[in-house]
Amino acid sequence: MTAVAVPPSLSLPVIEAVFPRQLHPYWPQLQESTRSWLLEKRLMPPDKVAEYADGLCYTDLMAGYYLGAPDEVMQAIADYSAWFFVWDDRHDRDVVHGRAAAWRQLRRRLHAALDFPAEHLQHEDPLVAGLADSVGRLYSFLPKTWNARFARHFHEVIEAYDREFHNRAEGRIPGVDEYLALRRLTFAHWIWTDLLEPSAGCELPETVRKHPAYRRAALLSQEFAAWYNDLCSLPKEIAGDEVHNLGISLITHEGLTLEEAVEEIRRRVEESISEFLVVEKDVLRLADRLADGTVHGKELGAAVRACLANMRNWFSSVYWFHHESGRYMVDSWDDRSTPPYVNNEAAGEK
């Protein structure tokens, strides 16, 4: 794969040197199947799918993350991820067009579809039906205990999106600590971490998931992604009158200039990488201890190694995604506040 040129202000040589990029071998089929799924589920209009779906690189992002996943797990994750981006865009348009009642209704329906996906597969709202389809497939891979955890985590994400809706409607910029806590939910840190397990073919016991080293490695990989996203999307979000970006919180509440805010986000990004490289060794030691000579221990140790390897893959996948996806090429848009790939006429707006 040919690497794109990364602007110096966003360049992270350590990622390019120490986190080699890989793609799941199923990726070409994944891209085609997710494109077909978006059409079949009417999640994007056919013209938008044809023009933008591949260039948005949603499947590239997931195929660079969940290596080793069985093809059907990879496909379910990629479809769910594409759905998540479409949902994020709907949420954005509901805010921009002041559709508070529509958002409240969607929020209720998503909670219901998450708990009872089979009952929502034919729902009139493609977003509700799309969640039901993708989540129903994700629920088929591991025991009900994993499904309940995934659902609990995603209910929290939906509620965090509701808090974002109200913040944006009121023009309220959260303080730095409040923002960081909210961001862990709206970026769905624990959802992407949960999905490491079906990729590895094994539900991890709570003692492993909550082990300080494992939990820290998982959090750092996600924090890197969220903060790097903030760094890359700051121009887009300033243009769109956004209130949720670490840079915007730092400028508003800590009195930093734009340049100082960018520098502070970069510092946090670089710190998350260097700390991950340290804690990664602790997780490898944990995997060695788990492989205690029993068949179960060997499987568990291998699953922890697989999950850790994919946390590591998240760094490179997120990094390159931000420079290849049309989602961040704000300078090429006709209107810097309106992404060209969204359906802005969904409720009759022009």
Report the b/e string of 288-325 with b at 16+ CB within 10 A.
eebbeeeeeeeebbbbbbbbbbbbbbbbbbbbbbbbbb
> Using CA atoms, how far apart are residues 38 and 127, in angstroms rounded to an integer?
10
Tell me if residue 150 is catalytic: no
SS3 label, residue 245: coil
The conformational region for residue 284 under phi > 0 = left, psi -120 to 50 = alpha, else beta, is alpha
> Using CA atoms, how far apart are residues 348 and 93, in angstroms rounded to an integer?
12
Cβ 176 vs Cβ 254: under 8 Å = yes
The active-site residue, picked from 19, 35, 85, 209, is: 85
Tell me if residue 107 is catalytic: no
**Rounded (10°) angle between helices 144-170 and 176-186:** 130
Of the candidates 310, 293, 231, 171, the one whose C-alpha atom is nearest the C-alpha of residue 9 is: 231
Q: Which residue has the tokens 């690497």?
A: 3
The conformational region for residue 202 under phi > 0 = left, psi -120 to 50 = alpha, else beta, is beta
Both tokens of 137, joined, read 């497939």
The active-site residue, picked from 19, 141, 150, 187, is: 187
Of the candidates 73, 77, 33, 67, the one whose C-alpha atom is nearest the C-alpha of residue 53 is: 33
- Measured CA to CA in angstroms, residue 96 lies from 99, 242, 349 at distances of 8, 10, 11
Cβ 132 vs Cβ 121: under 8 Å = yes
Tell me if residue 321 is catalytic: no
The active-site residue, picked from 19, 84, 165, 224, is: 84
Cβ 204 vs Cβ 198: under 8 Å = no
The active-site residue, picked from 149, 183, 312, 327, is: 327
Tell me if residue 289 is catalytic: no
Both tokens of 80, joined, read 């769910």
Residues taking part in catalysis: 84-85, 187, 327
